[in-house]
A = this chain, B = another copy of it.
Amino acid sequence: MPTAPSLAPPAPPALNPDQARALLKALADPIRLQVIEALGGGERCVCELTVALGLAQSKLSFHLKVLKEAGLLADRQCGRWVYYQLQPEALEQLRGWLAQLAASCTAPAEPCC
């Protein structure tokens, strides 16, 4: 048995600090949250998103790039269109990272005076 196959069920690969920061920063923007919510119902192409959110194409493209680089979105070209879809695993990974952070806070609360 070379490398014991893990039996953990979903077990997200655990985030490194930079990935976590990128995710947090990507989510900390109203426009990008709107994009995520708009993609909640399924895949959409850029031109659909521009009209749905009332954004300039250039502006939307910028935010899509941020979200994609953070790992929250995946894109797929289809002819002349580019479709974006959510990567819900990313949200789950961030949740795991937060849980781990909270777990490291064993604060015993030591009042001094």
Q: Interface of A with B (CB < 8 Å)?
A: 17, 21, 24-25, 27-30, 33, 36-37, 39-43, 78-79, 83, 85-86, 88, 91-92, 94-95, 98-99, 101-102, 104-113
Contacts and interface: CB of A to CB of B under 8 A. Distances in A.
A106 B30 contact: no
A67 B17 CA distance: 18
A15 to B, nearest CB: 12
A101 B41 contact: no
Contact of A28 (B28, B33, B98, B109): B28
Contact of A37 (B37, B39, B104): B104
A78 B24 contact: no
